[in-house]
Structure 1
Amino acid sequence: MNDHRPRGPLLALGTAALTALSTAAVAQSPVQLSPVTVQGAAPGASLTVPDTEGARRAIEQTPGAVSVVSDKAWRETPATTLKDVLDYTPGVFVQPKWGEDSRLSIRGSGLSRNFHMRGVAILQDGVPVNASDGSSDFQELDPTAFRYTEVYKGANALRYGSNYVGGAINFVSPTGYDADLFDGRADIGSFGFRRLQGSTGGNNGVVDGYVTGSWQAQDGFRDHSNGESKRASGNVGWRITPDLETRFYFNAVDLKQYIPGSVTRDSALNDPRKAAAGNLLQNYQRNMESLRVANKTTLKLGNTKLEVGGYAVDKALIHPIFQYLDYDYRDFGAFARVVDEREIGGRRNRLTVGTNVAFGSVDNKQYVNLPGGRKGNLLSASKDKSLTTSVYAEDSFEVVRDVSVVAGAQYVQAKRKRVDRFQDATDTSGDNTYDFLNPKLGLLWQVDPGWQVFANVSRSGEAPTFGELNFTNTVLADTKAQRATTFEIGTRGRRPDYSWDLALYRMNLKNEFQFFDLGGGNFQVTNADRTIHQGIEAGGGVAVAKGLLSEADRLWVNAAYTFSDFRFDGDRDWGDNKLPGAPRHYLRAELLYRSPDGFYFGPNVEWVPQAYYVDNANSLKTESYALLGFRAGYDFNEHVSLFLDARNLLDTKYIASSSVAAVANPNSPLFEPGTGIAAYGGLRLRW
């Protein structure tokens, strides 16, 4: 891989901080419902970071599709990508591409974009991971570093001021209050996969700290897909008074990854290990170094809680692809949120008011990518500046016993400015400003302590990233913001032997971003006129048998089903054609026997029963598939555990992900092959 050095003191510090070791995943924990309570952190707990149950209590006050995924949901699997963390969350479609990269879509967000995640707000401990223009990279996150994950689908992410069509995902780290003194893990697996991960934490009642590090490497299933990553993150908290706590965070990443590229449908299904010829010739790679530092401070004043914080990011990207990209990112942000919970006229009321500011710049240089992935002559240079500001307010009032009306609104202004720094005849400079007003109205009925029913209608809007803008092209310079109105109803609940999570939604979009892969590194970006995203998200689990071999054992079924109906709405070019890029049906299910002695085993399936289109013309499809897996493990005691995870046992050749085109043909290189038969194992030690 090409040698690249950190450009800046933050990156130098981050690279020096990187260390070793890692952990894993299974099915999403069942929803645990609780009544609303007003309380601070318990003694020996963090005020800035709720524990898993506290996070559930808070998120359940949302009248929409939300969930909390505990770390128990993935620690018994290799967690090679974020798919292992989120795969049993209905409505969230995550498919691995190569190495540690994945494609993420929630309710069809970023449907046409198969690189550099967009359409979802990604947060770590409530602090944005997205760049100030809205784009993001999964590789900045270590799947093994988090205590739990909060998922807010669609327009339900107002709590974090998110305006993204897909919603928000917040990955929350342990603290010194809930971390083990030592937690270490070693994993190995097929295609040269190996990983080490370790963490430590502790507290003295006033100051606490937690740090984790991991090293991961793999040769890769496909040719030219090997990679290596080193990550470290941690936090230090100081309880200044019982009602005041400040916490400092850091996250450092050093990633080197080869890119095999997209291939034709025939190649993906018949020769899935093969890399794209152009990727081999020009030695496609993504090499990234980043350091993120942040602070969050929480103050409780009776029934009112105030959170304020800020963050800074320094990132360098060396990315030889169709051109040799050399990008330096500097992003900064600040946020404040006030939550007031009290009774008004004998009825519970919860008021949330907040603001977010994100600003930053990208120093872009693009060179000729010579054969072998070498830097050639400079082709373009610019500085991209972004400023996104949002203010929001939401109030939940109990109009009758156990029934709350939730009303809110958000105002967002996003500015994009490009300054040309390349001396030639073409001026690429330009700027745009986008404004949104997003209201929300919802209803939440707490039927009983273990059952909720909800409904809402919400607006959301999303400004283009610099990836959708080109100021030398009149059409692309005028790329419009996409807007959506979502109608949603659903229910969630839990009983001793079963749980459920169900949502039905319809999203009417205007100016949806469409990002077409023309091949050879060329892309076309357009706004569709009107489109519809609607679907069903159903998840849950049930104990189908208990006491089979011992009094306390059980046989549990866990499943997540997503139905997606995405289509154009009377488009002048495409009529009512289906939108390309996502399966209509997606099922993930597992049957797991678990003994009180610590032994567990069972099969699992991943099923896409219908192929989906990869072009607007609806002329070319992927192929349906079903994958069979099996996992087993043993917890020797509270200190030692072992897992085995076998995947794609029938060695099915399938397409895991795809790019999209306006009109495709059998020779269109749009497809990412799925991984063949594989097995992984891991040993975890903790005390």
Structure 2
Amino acid sequence: MERSKSLLSVSVRCALLASAAVVASTALSSRSALAQSPSSSLPPVTVQAPDEAPRPAARPKPRAVSIGARAVRASSIGATAAPPVAGGVQSPGARAPASLTVPTTEQARREIERVPGGVALVPDTEFKNTPANTIKDALGWVPGVLIQQRWGPDARISIRGSGLSRAYGNRGINPLMDGIPISTADGLFDLFEIDPTAYRYIEVYKGANALRYGANSLGGAINFVMPTGRNSPEFEARIDGGSFGYLKSATSVGGFAGPFDWYMTMSAQREEGYREHSKTDAERLNANFGYQFSPDAETRFYLTAGRWRSEIPGEVTKDAALTTPRAANPVWVQQDQQRNIDSVRVANKTTLRFDETTVDFGAFVLERHVMHPIYQWLDFHVHDYGGFARATDDRLIGGFRNRLITGVNIQNGTIDINQYWNVGAAVKGPLAASYLWKSQNVSAYADNSFYVLPNVALVAGAQFLHAVRDQQDRFLTNGDQSGRRTYNPFSPKMGLLWDVDSTWQVYGNISRSAEVPTYDVTTFASPASTDINAQTATTYEIGTRGRRPDLTWDISLYRADIRNELQCLTSPSTPGACTIRNADRTVHQGVEAGLGVAFLKSIFAQEDRFWFNVAYTYSDFRFDGDVTWGNNQLPAVPAHWVRAEVLYKHANGFYAGPNVEWMPQAFFADNANTLTVDPYALLNFKLGYDRGTGWSGYIEARNLLDKRYISTAIAVEAATAASALFNPGMGRAVYAGLRTRW
């Protein structure tokens, strides 16, 4: 029987075509009435409540402008940086020349809103007044970004179903720090290096909307951007503490002198853990040093270093997760499973401006040592290196504005890995395997926006990737598992962006994406596994975003038709490990919606108000006529995910209100759709005070009703009640923090 297409599938495709026709006809008919600005001044759309307080400006404080309920610094878009001051440290009242290498928050907002697709920019004012422990504290309010906590600071992050079956680590998203890759060369990344206290803002590019950085994975890219000495406080310190032994301290300094500027932040955190055998501690350093040769030339060096020591409690059965959630898997305890990482990354980025053209180029090197006793004792060294060059040309062609971005990325690396048997209590036994993994990645991309009208842009782009995965087996007792595979995917994109007026946009796009396998599985263990193909997808997307004085919205609908989806499926015989397999045809489609509405204004004081904010993600991910699984749902992801809050905000910086996290429908843990994760709802509450300068503080309570629930599940082919696949969610917790800056 012919399978019927889902309503959302038909809606997305038809709406995409209809929107293009409506945009073209409506825009053409209203051309004379539109402003002639080449790009709108659309204010930012965020999913969380507006900032708790205005950010203090760098010395001195520039004039603030009001946009809705948020006060932001006046934009410096288009302004020419002031020339460097010769010699000496600037006086407290001196104005720092703008940085070329690192855009301000407002510049980044204007830039990201030129993308005809799902994007988000999250300023630090939305995550600094939180425990700042995990990436969920920073990005948990962005619709479409699913973050499922495993234990402590470790979590699975997925955008539009990227890497959704991962049992450990993450893939399918290109993580960047100031536009420079932080994943290993084969595409795998850990979250421990991400310190939410270290960034000025975070950019989220969903899917092929990340073409600006040459990324073309299903999940897109996340770019973590540090402050510089030109826009940071001279000194900032904070301390956070809370339940289950959580304690974190962080200190940062910044400044500038003549053409030099510097910023450095250091943090240390400890956590005993909600579960048995889940203690973690981490220390992180993030720093950058800039030199401005002239108003049109600047270079910046980056240094990041981290140390992470953690115990792993392991997955348990569904019954154990709900009845004894604080207990660890006894096998994990007996083996003393851990993840310990030391890493250092050094990078440079240089920006040159030539009239209408801006060029960015740089290089990076990463050294990482991973000591990882699990069912085997993994000991490996990662050495990655690469470079990038990107040119942005914005000029008039025949009287029409045209904006072209072209670039080249190189990311190569080796992983030297030895695997030993774990004979118990994290003791190395005999050698079990030894490999040298080599990855090569060279990509070239282009993204062009041609403004057929001052407020309507046609966008076209493409990326070509040449990737090599080479494995040299140095332990031949169990046979030679050496192998080499080359991938050459080509990914085009086309779209349309319409600035309806200065407060809202409509967009649509069609794009291709491609992902090659990572090395965290035995890719060449058998002849069959050498046939693992790159995952490819064609994605259709339409959406709108905007901001009015008391209303914000951000809505995207998408459908991705995927071929050879890379599933990471855990084997019952080796829990904690997974094997990559290509699914035949799958579909990922959904809705990403954020809404903020102000109400009950000036109730207790002038200019106070209540805000209702909601972030909703609908994910319909399923097989598409699979020989074995038919049209079953794909495992490990909820169909509906809702975060909502009512937040009172006073003009003096006080805020308070409840919020909920709600998963209203069960999801499956296996391809066979036999074992489910039950729905749940969590009640939380927060209050705080932040005027943007001096002292600030917060108190936040989570899971007030101490609900027992499952936060994440690993995926298998077919599960039973005895399958140990689940990580229990954290119980009732309270956190508090203080911060000062000047």
Which interval holds the TM-score relative to the shorter structure?
A: over 0.9
CA separation of 1:116 and 1:593: change in aligned 2, threshold 3 A: same
Q: Which residue number corresponds to residue 322 of structure 1?
A: 375
2:554 paired with 1:533: no
Whether the 8 Å contact between 2:47 and 2:596 is mirrored in structure 1 is: no
- Tell me, yes or no, if structure 1 residue 457 matches structure 2 residue 514: no
For 2:741, the equivalent position in structure 1 comes to 686
Q: Does 1:134 align with 2:187?
A: yes
CA contact 2:174–2:183 (8 Å) conserved in 1: yes
**Matches of residues 282-297 of structure 1 in structure 2 within 5 Å?**
282-297=335-350
- Aligned-pair identity (%): 49
Question: 2:132 maps to which residue?
Answer: 79
| Structure 2 Cα separation of the partners of residues 161 and 224 of structure 1 | 40
Q: State the distance in 2 between where 1:346 and 1:319 align.
A: 59
Q: 2:153 matched to 1:100?
A: yes
Q: Determine if contact 1:468/1:476 at 8 Å carries over to the other structure.
A: no
Which letter maps to 1:581? A
Are 1:590 and 1:603, in contact at CA under 8 Å, matched by a contact in 2? Answer: yes
The reply on whether 1:599 has 2:634 as its aligned counterpart is: no
Q: Deviations over 1:522-574 (max 9, x none)?
A: 43321000000000000021102210100111111121100000010000000
1:39 paired with 2:78, answer yes
Note the C-alpha offset of 1:241: 1.1
Cα distance, 1:401 vs. partner? 3.2
Distance 1:93 1:61, change over 3 A: same
Asked whether the 8 Å contact 1:161–1:410 carries over to 2, the reply is yes
Q: What is the alpha-carbon distance in structure 2 between the residues aligned to residue 126 and residue 501 of structure 1?
A: 24
Specify the alignment match of 1:20 in structure 2. Answer: none
Say if 2:435 and 2:475, in contact at 8 Å, map to a contact too.
Answer: yes
How far did residue 578 of structure 1 move? Answer: 0.6
Q: Give the counterpart of 1:157 among 197, 210, 215.
A: 210
Task: State the AA in 1 paired with 2:416.
Answer: D
Tell me if structure 2 keeps the 8 A contact 1:38–1:341.
Answer: no
Shift of residue 188, structure 1, vs aligned partner: 0.6
In the TM superposition, 1:239-388 aligns within 5 A as: 239-388=292-441
- Structure 1 partner of 2:704: 649
Q: What pairs up with 1:509-658 in 2 under 5 angstroms?
A: 509-519=562-572, 520-521=574-575, 522-635=577-690, 638-658=693-713
Offset at residue 29 of structure 1 (A)? 5.0
How far did residue 469 of structure 1 move?
4.2
1:168 aligns with 2:221: yes
SS in 1 for 2:630: coil
Partner Cα distance (2:226, 2:125) in 1: 14
Letter in 2 for 1:666: A
Q: SS of 1:144's equivalent? A: helix
Aligned residues: 662
Q: Distance in 2 between matches of 1:170 and 1:28?
A: 21
For 1:248 and 1:607, the matched residues in 2 are separated by 43
How many Å separate the matches in 2 of 1:29 and 1:485? Answer: 34
Once structures 1 and 2 are overlaid, which stretch shifts more, 500-509 or 392-401? 392-401
Residue equivalent to 1:18 = none
Counterpart-to-counterpart distance in 2, 1:160 and 1:539: 25
Q: Secondary structure at the match of 1:157?
A: helix
Q: Among residues 18, 24, 27, which one is paired with 2:48 in the alignment?
A: 27
Aligned residue for 2:230?
A: 177
Q: Which amino acid aligns with 1:499?
A: T
Say whether the 8 Å CA contact 1:29–1:69 is kept in structure 2: no
1:7 corresponding residue in structure 2: none
Change (3 A) 1:86 1:439: same
Shift of 1:637: 7.3
Q: Decide whether aligned partners of structure 1 residues 598 and 26 sit closer, same or farther in structure 2, where only a CA change above 3 A counts.
A: farther
What are the within-5 Å matches in structure 2 for residues 384-403 of structure 1? 384-403=437-456
Q: 1:415 aligns with which of 468, 476, 489?
A: 468
Kept in 1: contact 2:401–2:454 (CA 8 A): no
Displacement after TM superposition at 1:111 (Å): 1.2
- The alpha-carbon distance between structure 1 residues 29 and 464, as it changes in their structure 2 partners (threshold 3 A), is farther
Bigger mean CA offset, 605-614 vs 371-380: 371-380
How far did 1:205 drift?
4.0
- Structure 2: how far apart are the matches of 1:591 and 1:249? 39
Amino acid at match of 2:666: A
Q: Which residue number corresponds to residue 60 of structure 1?
A: 113
Shift of residue 345, structure 1, vs aligned partner: 2.0
1:157 CA displacement: 0.5
Pairwise CA distance, 1:584: 0.4
CA distance in 2 between counterparts of 1:150 and 1:401 reads 26
Q: Does the 8 A contact of 1:384 with 1:419 survive in 2?
A: yes
CA distance in 2, matches of 1:658, 1:472: 26
Deviations 1:483-536 (A, max 9, x none): 000000000000011110000000000000111112333433210000000000
Residue 482 (structure 1) aligned to one of 535, 538, 552: 535
Quote the residue 1:12 is aligned against: none
The CA distance in 2 between the partners of 1:217 and 1:115, in whole Å, is 21
Relative to structure 1, is the Cα distance of residues 253 and 164 closer, same or farther in structure 2, using a 3 angstrom cutoff? same
Q: 1:511 to 1:75 in 2, by over 3 A?
A: same
2:668 touches 2:677 (CA, 8 Å); kept in 1? Answer: yes
- State the partner residue of 2:727: 672
What does 1:222-233 align with in structure 2 at a 5 Å threshold?
222-233=275-286
Distance in 2, matches of 1:123 and 1:677, equals: 33
SS at 1:650 equivalent: coil
Distance in 2 separating the partners of 1:533 and 1:212: 39
Secondary structure of 1:464 counterpart = coil
- SS at 1:278 equivalent: helix
Q: Which runs of 5+ in 2 are unaligned?
A: 1-45, 52-66, 83-96
Counterpart-to-counterpart distance in 2, 1:446 and 1:145: 33
CA displacement 1:110-145 (0-9 Å, x = unmatched): 011121110100001110011111111111111110
Query: Which of 495, 508, 532 does residue 548 from structure 2 map onto?
Result: 495
Q: State the shift of 1:331 in Å.
A: 0.2
1:372 is paired with a residue whose SS is coil
TM-score normalised according to structure 2 size: 0.87
| Residues 460 and 41 of structure 1: CA distance in aligned 2, closer, same or farther (over 3 Å) | farther
Distance in 1, matches of 2:49 and 2:361, equals 31
Please state whether the residue corresponding to 2:197 is helix, strand or coil: coil
Aligned-partner Cα distance in 2 for 1:135–1:591: 37
Say if 1:92 and 1:425 are closer, same or farther in 2 by CA, change over 3 A. closer
Find the counterpart in structure 1 of residue 92 from structure 2: none
Q: Which SS does the other structure have where 2:196 is aligned?
A: coil
Residues 41 and 368 of structure 1, relative CA distance in 2, 3 Å threshold: farther
> 1-side partners of 2:552 and 2:172: how far apart?
29
Shift of 1:666: 0.7
What amino acid maps onto 1:260 in structure 2?
P
Cα 1:112–1:503 shift into 2, 3 Å = same
Letter in 2 for 1:565: D
For 2:611 and 2:639, how far apart are their aligned partners in 1? 26
Cα shift at 1:40:
5.8
SS in 1 for 2:115: coil
Tell me by how many angstroms 1:467 deviates: 2.4
Cα distance in 2 between the residues matched to 1:572 and 1:468: 24
* Cα distance in 1 between the residues matched to 2:50 and 2:652: 20
What's the Cα RMSD here? 1.7
Instruction: Provide structure 1 residue ranges, at least 5 long, that are not aligned to the other structure.
Output: 1-24
Letter in 1 for 2:605: S
The answer to whether the 8 A contact 2:47-2:594 is kept is no
Q: CA deviation at 1:38?
A: 7.3
Contact 2:47 2:595 in 1 (8 A): no
SS in 2 for 1:466: coil
Cα-to-partner distance string for 1:610-634 (whole Å, 9 max, x where unaligned): 0101111111100100000000012
